[in-house]
Structure 1
Amino acid sequence: MSAPKILLLPGWQNSDPGHWQSRWEAVYGDHRVEQHDWMRPLRGDWCARLEEEVLAAPGPVALVAHSLGCILVAAWAAHSGHAHKVRAALLVAPGDLERDDLRQMIPGWAPIVRRPLPFPALMIAAEDDPYCEAGRSRQLARDWGARFIDAGARGHINSESGLGDWPEGRELLNDLLKEE
């Protein structure tokens, strides 16, 4: 079976140069799904971009999502006829877009799609994520049928978390892909 193309799905405002997703792009050659508008994300537009990238891939893909990217994976998978191309998804630090403050900052994403994902998924979330309480992350993982790993006190698992290239995350992705 051919190795999947890794599609990086950043969250709101994109991933900055110090973010582990940006570092994975530089180190491993993973492919960032560029959105038309990182500041005012529209769910339909973001789903359409992901659909284009999945269709453009010559073989299977693996989704590596952070924050709003996790919510995107659930929304896209619920409507796409091409989810069979996804070998697995690594979902990191989902944002709780049903929370009042976040719903106002990023409108149009609530309610969060809560159907089981049609591919294997692993969620990693921190106990102290300012954008999603630990209990909500665990519930989203259950709703999506994703295995859950508690990352401890790592905040939003982004540049500010000081992860560098985050080799532990890459190892978890590689293990997830071996489970196929």
Structure 2
Amino acid sequence: MTKPTLLIVPGLRDHVPEHWQTLLQAGTPGARSVPPLTENGLSCAARVEAIERALAEIDGPVILVAHSAGVLMVAHWAARYNRPILGALLVTPPDLDASWPANYPQPDTLREHGWSPLPRTRLPFPSIVAASSNDHLATLEAVHRMAADWGSQVVELGAVGHLNPAAGYGPWPRAEALIAQVQLLATSVAK
């Protein structure tokens, strides 16, 4: 099998230099990232179109690596498009029904920009949702419900916050092991 291309799907803060996704891309030959939006940054439709444009530039199998609102973008993308994806690692998805800290866009604002309702149908590719027990954007229970709806396997990471630089994650070596696990899931589904 051709080695899959990693497509990084960042959250709403796009590309943060010390974020584990940015470091993963830099350390993975051939990895790509959905480019940051220069306009309509809160528009779900614009974010979904950016994923589709990035995928159109990739030949061969793809593993999506999404974090935070990037996970929600992947759910919206999968509900709209029918492009084959090998699998996805979906890390710390936020809960649009939760109350978030003031320094984040509020769920009501995101609803106004097309994020709700969140597609909760089974994803057409194997996926792992990596969940935190102390994420301020989603309870562990809410993440388990999303993962169950999407048909995703859940990996509980423990108390890792929102798994971003503010929670102490720059490098996150476990991402590579989880990506390998996604690839194994995809191989077992293909048999």
TM-score under structure 1 length normalisation = 0.92
The CA deviation string for residues 63-118 of structure 1, in whole angstroms up to 9 with x for no partner, is 00000010111111111021x2x100000000112335531343320111101000
1:35 to partner: Cα distance:
3.2
RMSD, matched Cα: 1.7
Q: 1:13-52 alignment to 2 at 5 Å? A: 13-29=13-29, 30-37=31-38, 40-52=41-53
**Quick one: which of 103, 108, 113 aligns to 1:104?**
108
Aligned residue for 2:93? 94
The CA deviation string for residues 132-157 of structure 1, in whole angstroms up to 9 with x for no partner, is 11110010000100000111111001
Q: How many residues align?
A: 178
Q: Which runs of 5+ in 2 are unaligned?
A: 101-105
CA spacing shift, 1:38–1:8, aligned 2, 3 Å: farther
Q: 1:1-180 alignment to 2 at 5 Å? A: 1-29=1-29, 30-37=31-38, 40-82=41-83, 84=84, 86-99=85-98, 102-107=106-111, 108-179=114-185, 180=187
For the Cα contact (< 8 Å) 2:90–2:128, is it kept in 1?
yes
| Letter in structure 2 aligned against 1:56 | E
| Letter in structure 1 aligned against 2:81 | S
CA spacing shift, 1:38–1:20, aligned 2, 3 Å: farther
1:164 to partner: Cα distance:
3.4
- The separation in 2 between residues aligned to 1:38 and 1:151, in whole angstroms, is 34
CA spacing shift, 1:147–1:38, aligned 2, 3 Å: farther
For the Cα contact (< 8 Å) 2:134–2:159, is it kept in 1?
yes
Q: Which runs of 5+ in 1 are unaligned?
A: none
2:86 match: secondary structure: strand
TM-score under structure 2 length normalisation = 0.87
1:125 to partner: Cα distance:
1.1
